[in-house]
A and B are shown apart, each in its own frame.
Chain A
Amino acid sequence: MSFEPKNPMVKWVEARLPITGMLHHALYEYPTPKNLSYWWTFGSLAGFMLVVQLITGIVLSMHYTAHVDLAFDSVEHIMRDVNYGWLLRYMHSNGASMFFIVVYLHIFRGLYYGSYKAPRELLWWLGLVIFLLMMATAFMGYVLPWGQMSFWGATVITNLFGAIPVVGDTIVTWLWGGFSVDNPTLNRFFSLHYLLPFVIVGVVILHVWALHTTGSNNPTGIEIKDKQDSIPFHPYYTVKDLFGLGLFLILFSAFLFYAPNWMGHPDNYIPANPLVTPAHIVPEWYFLPFYAILRAVPDKLGGVMLMFGAIAVLFALPWLDKSRIRSARFRPVYKQLFWIFLLDCVVLTYIGGQPAEEPFILIGRIATGYYFVHILILLPLVGMFEKPKPLPASISADVLPKDSSDKEASNA
């Protein structure tokens, strides 16, 4: 089913730049497994949130001033004076949280259904690169309002690089452009915060390209074998994704209009003061699990390495997981471990938000240990010893009633 335009204008363009055909292939005819559940909606929701963040961010930057003396006031100016400024800023700040919510669900979907396994390793890697870029972008964006949490968050995170032996201090000074977080730091963070989303767009294009090369995974984890297993992306999944978007926008609006500061910190409405650290500094919720891992180690370099290691090990996942069965539906032991791992991540998130005192330190250490045990030890072992359940013959055979599957297949 190739793209054959009838409109002479489209034909003329297509002969010179086959962009319409490319979009047609990607968004219309793309053969998609016919059994995708709503867990497969979060990829397109993440794409939607990227666009929301880009548009709101570009208009916010029309009113924002990146200077230590003016940044805080310019954000208040946006909130009070700029037409709909409150709406745009709350969309952007809550949008960041929403973006991370859908991306985390998207990642855990991939973990449950084994979407990282061959031949989708590069697809998984590109996703992790997007995740890393998102974290860098969100961190630098949070610095821009120049409140207390902005300033001290920037101080703590940039100091992480000071843990690097020998050149650590030189690198931190280079990042700051001075001897503390100050105006040069704010300026460069604004510049990079504006740049990185466009880098993310570039990697998203590669991510989707890789996806459309290998095809989507699905709840059975088995590949499309013939035409009966797939349906065109449009209208089936465009409509399904749009319905999911509608539900998601209800959740987004609930935060946006009824609890816009619920996921923020009151301390960030206090202008930055380089001489006073707030009594209890915590990062935004989406960084809490990594913050808990950082604090679990009573050693500066060790904590920093373990925190970056927590993401680095995810890159090795396609090779650590020895099982050739993708979907947890057919992996009785892994299925249980998945939920324990998810619970472990929730515990880490909770601990990251608590002060550095007992019993939180001990719980944080146990949860950090389990995070790495799951990925580095349990995952390879389970793949070797687990006896998987029998796989269905095909996607079609799985979704159609057993007795009528032959008849349905012949009718199709």
Chain B
Amino acid sequence: MTTTTPIEEDGVKRRDFLYIAAGGVGAVGTALAVWPFVAQMNPSADVLALSSTEVELDAIDVGSEITAVWQGKPVFVRHRTKEEIAAAEDVDITTLPDPQADADRVENPAWLIMVGVCTHLGCVPLKESGDYDGWFCPCHGSHYDTSGRIRKGPAPTNLLVPPYEFLSDTTVKIG
């Protein structure tokens, strides 16, 4: 009786090697072929290009705010009153669900700039409302304070502060 696949000393057959090699190449090849079909769903180049937006501040009076659009999302630009700033600073941050000092959330305390998207499930919170006179999300009842920090409700984190810089006293660049 002859055999076409001679047995090696350690018991590994030539066919075993071919079997694993073919399977391995097949698996890697499949993964490479699948990759473009998965990656095509990520943001395209033109979407990524919409990376910054500029806002004029001189038209925003103390105690009012505007909603700018950055990457398709609303961004709250609020000119805070002295009372709002005091309320935001006068908080024992160790008691907060997501502890963060007001000073870490603003560059200039008069201007609170943050993404107006509830960190729970993405609704736009309503200004000057809720138990802390900050923002209140009507969808699932999250209360944010005058620094945009989560105080009560299902949202896990504070409203996101986007990267921004003041280009002049009256212009801010978000993104």
Contacts and interface: CB of A to CB of B under 8 A. Distances in A.
B139 interface: yes
A156 B137 CA distance: 12
A195 B35 CA distance: 20
B135 to A, nearest CB: 11
B42 A357 contact: no
Interface stretch (B3-11, B70-78, B106-114): B70-78
Nearest to A175: B41
Interface stretch (A124-132, A277-285, A372-380): A277-285
A324 interface: no
Contacts, number: 91
B127 to A, nearest CB: 12
B67 interface: yes
Contact of B72 (A162, A178, A295): A178
A274 B139 contact: no
B138 interface: yes
Given A299-B154, A300-B156, A174 B41 contact: yes
A182 B69 contact: no
A182 B69 CA distance: 13
Interface of B (DSSP majority class): loop
A368 to B, nearest CB: 14
A160 interface: yes
A177 B41 contact: yes
Contacts of B137: 277
A179 B74 contact: no
A180 interface: yes
Given A155-B122, A279-B138, A303 B154 contact: yes
Contacts of B71: 178-180
A174 B73 contact: no
A179 B72 contact: yes
16 contacts: A158-B122, A160-B121, A174-B42, A178-B47, A179-B71, A180-B71, A180-B72, A181-B72, A182-B47, A277-B123, A277-B124, A281-B123, A295-B140, A300-B155, A356-B140, A356-B141
Interface of B: 38, 41-44, 47, 67, 69, 71-74, 116-117, 119-124, 137-141, 153-156
Given A180-B73, A275-B67, 9 more contacts: A152-B123, A156-B139, A179-B72, A295-B154, A297-B154, A300-B154, A300-B155, A300-B156, A355-B138
